[in-house]
Structure 1
Amino acid sequence: MTLTELKYIVTLAQEQHFGRAAERCFVSQPTLSIAVKKLEEELGVSLFERSKSRVYPTPLGEKIIKQSQVVLEQAGAIKDIVDAGKDQLTSPMHIGAIFTIGPYLLPQIIPELNQLASDMPLYVEESYTATLRRRIRQGELDAIVVALPFTEADVVTQPLYEEDFVVLMDSKHPLAEQESIKADQLVEHQVLLLGEGHCFRDQVIEACPKLQPSLADNQGKIRSAAEGSSLETLKYMVASGLGITVLPRSAATPSLLTNDLLCIRPFAGEAPKRTVALAWRASFPRLQAIDALREAISNSGVGHNL
């Protein structure tokens, strides 16, 4: 068996679909299918049950896949040891950030990193917290920027900054006449939020409990953006007069297209906020690269440094 084959079965167990697993592994579906079948024949057991709609591990397959994940993580640790013997600020750095942080933080820190570590190639990606969690455990990312709470075994998490939430609305909206907005007032209006799966949606509802659909009038006035939408999409929806929304302050700045259409109001009293953190594997040996990334974020001016 090979590490590649182990990666295939771990990915297939996660996706429960040959096509999606092959896409994630950057191979054709027949290639992945043949490799999985070959490993099953070598081991003399069936790792997966196959149906028309999905593929899922057998009870024995689950144990083998769990151990395969450990093997892949240990193989990644060997690579980390090799990287530690090199110049820590010249090897590529792979960084991930959640969708509601990446577009607003990354453009600020990349120029800073160019000053602090000009010879360190930077690869960045945006995704959901759950995806970033998996990818850092598998060694596919070196560090991730997420919103707390975030805990993961063998992963170090360090809070970086706090960021207030603000209310974004059409400049002609009735609430625009107020200097600040009470959280309880939001339930009286059409509130636009990200779709299910975005942690920022959950944070907003936690900060403004009356936005829970079951508690709002007529089963809730919340209208969710389409699945996978971004904060930028919400801003355009607000500019179109579809409602108001709550955003982290870094995301609330209107664009050139919406500058005259939107206005921002703070929350009255103590504003709801989120804490943004940097996370990396405890075994990751390039602490100079982590320090450079942390300093770049601190210098970015986004949020209130902790």
Structure 2
Amino acid sequence: MNLRDLKYLVALADHRHFGRAAAACYVSQPTLSTQIRKLEDELGVPLVERAPRKVMLTPAGREAAERARRIVAEVEQMKEAARRSQDPEAGAVRLGIFPTLAPYLLPHVIPRVRARFPQLELLLVEEKSDELLARLRDGKLDAAVLALPVHDEQLHTEFLFEEPFVLAVPDGHPLAGREALALDELSEQRLLLLEDGHCLREQALDVCRLSGAHEKTEFRATSLETLRQMVAANVGVTLLPALAVKPPVARSDNIHLLRFSDSHPSRSIAMVWRRSSAMSGFLERLAQVFGDLPADLLAPTGAVPAAAARQSAAVPPPRSDWG
């Protein structure tokens, strides 16, 4: 038994297909299949149920694959620890970040990361939070920027900042002429929200529960930018996080932003990594850079005059492909 064979088993568990698993491991399908059979012979139990069109792991196979996954992750961390002992601030870091934060936070922090760690290769992965957590636990990511809470005793969470929400309403809405509102004034509103799977949806639902507001269930957006455009088209109102309404994001002259005057709904952002990570010391320093944002960048934005909105609209919005 060797590390290569364990990687083959993990790939087969992930893809449930010999051809795709072989392609992921950069070997031929017969090679991967042969090594899996050798592993079965060595362990003395079948690991795979081979059907004409699909592959299923046996109970023993599932347990072996999970153990193999942990072993492979530990070996990768061992290699990373050895490399970082020579130069802790060089090399590659695989960092995950969720879609309703990535395009708004990264323009502010990436230049600072490059200045602080000039030798660092930062590999960014943008996915929904559940997928980021799964990759983090499997060792496919070194760390992830996520919204709290994160319930996993095996993971360390380093708080970064609190990001307030503002209410976005279309031009002509009864609230459009105001700069602020009380949280309970949301009780008469039906909010546009993101589809299932986005953590921002759950955060907005928490605000709805606190204020007595309801969801406008006829429409669910696939991205934050879609929500913004639906507000501009006078379809409804929504909650937007503060970073999503700050430059370099362009303002629309037919969307008005209102801060909350009494309660201050927000989301807590943290960097998360495995407690067993060999990179913990470096990740603490990286988290400090991510969390060191100017106070005005996280201040809730009130209504902006149309002239100012039209002037800032010359700045193009960030682009991102979201699932």
**Normalising by the residue count of structure 1, what TM-score does the alignment of the two structures yield?**
0.81
1:68-121 deviation line (CA, Å, top 9, x unaligned): 122122212211221232211121222111112211111111111122111212
Distance 2:18 2:186 in 1: 44
1:265 matched to which residue of 2? 258
Distance 1:54 1:261 in 2: 52
Distance 2:182 2:291 in 1: 30
* Maintained 8 Å contact 1:49/1:55: yes
Q: Which amino acid in structure 1 is aligned with residue 73 of structure 2?
A: E
Q: Which amino acid in structure 1 is aligned with residue 59 of structure 2?
A: P
* Maintained 8 Å contact 1:168/1:252: no
Other structure's SS at 1:177 match:
coil
What's the % identity of the aligned pairs? 32
1:118 matched to which residue of 2? 118
Tell me: CA distance 1:251–1:192, structure 2 relative to 1, closer, same or farther (3 Å).
same
Superposition map of 1:184-263 within 5 A: 184-186=184-186, 188-209=188-209, 221-226=216-221, 229-253=222-246, 258-263=251-256
Corresponding residue to 2:274 among 262, 275, 281: 281
Unaligned 5+ residue runs, structure 1? none
Provide the aligned C-alpha RMSD in A. Answer: 3.2
Q: Which amino acid in structure 2 is aligned with residue 110 of structure 1?
A: I
Distance 2:50 2:211 in 1: 42
1:52-81 deviation line (CA, Å, top 9, x unaligned): 886443211121112112212221221122
Q: 1:179: Cα distance to partner?
A: 3.5
2:40 matched to which residue of 1? 43
Q: Which amino acid in structure 1 is aligned with residue 216 of structure 2?
A: K
Distance 2:68 2:76 in 1: 12
Greater length-normalized contact order (CA 8 Å, ≥ 6 residues apart): 1
Other structure's SS at 2:150 match:
coil
* Maintained 8 Å contact 1:112/1:299: no
1:1-27 deviation line (CA, Å, top 9, x unaligned): 44344334334434556677677x375
Distance 2:19 2:189 in 1: 43
Distance 2:30 2:202 in 1: 38
Distance 2:29 2:209 in 1: 46
* Maintained 8 Å contact 2:179/2:257: no
Distance 1:137 1:187 in 2: 39
Other structure's SS at 2:97 match:
strand
**Pair 1:293-2:259 in alignment:** no
1:96-155 deviation line (CA, Å, top 9, x unaligned): 111122111111111111221112122112112222122223333222110111133432
1:241-297 deviation line (CA, Å, top 9, x unaligned): 222111211113487765212111123421221111111222333455324322322
Q: 1:206: Cα distance to partner?
A: 1.7
Unaligned 5+ residue runs, structure 2? 300-323
Other structure's SS at 1:283 match:
coil
Tell me: CA distance 1:211–1:35, structure 2 relative to 1, closer, same or farther (3 Å).
farther
1:206-235 deviation line (CA, Å, top 9, x unaligned): 2212899xx95xxx6334435xx2212211
Other structure's SS at 1:174 match:
coil
Other structure's SS at 1:85 match:
helix
Q: Which amino acid in structure 2 is aligned with residue 225 of structure 1?
A: R
Superposition map of 1:73-222 within 5 A: 73-186=73-186, 188-209=188-209, 221-222=216-217
1:149-190 deviation line (CA, Å, top 9, x unaligned): 113343211111111111112122222134334445546444
* Maintained 8 Å contact 1:170/1:263: yes
* Maintained 8 Å contact 2:146/2:271: yes
Other structure's SS at 1:121 match:
strand
Tell me: CA distance 1:223–1:88, structure 2 relative to 1, closer, same or farther (3 Å).
farther
Count residues in correspondence: 294
* Maintained 8 Å contact 1:95/1:141: yes
Distance 2:289 2:240 in 1: 23
Q: Which amino acid in structure 1 is aligned with residue 292 of structure 2?
A: N
Distance 1:18 1:209 in 2: 47
Other structure's SS at 1:152 match:
coil
Tell me: CA distance 1:296–1:10, structure 2 relative to 1, closer, same or farther (3 Å).
same
Distance 1:224 1:97 in 2: 25
Q: 1:303: Cα distance to partner?
A: 3.5
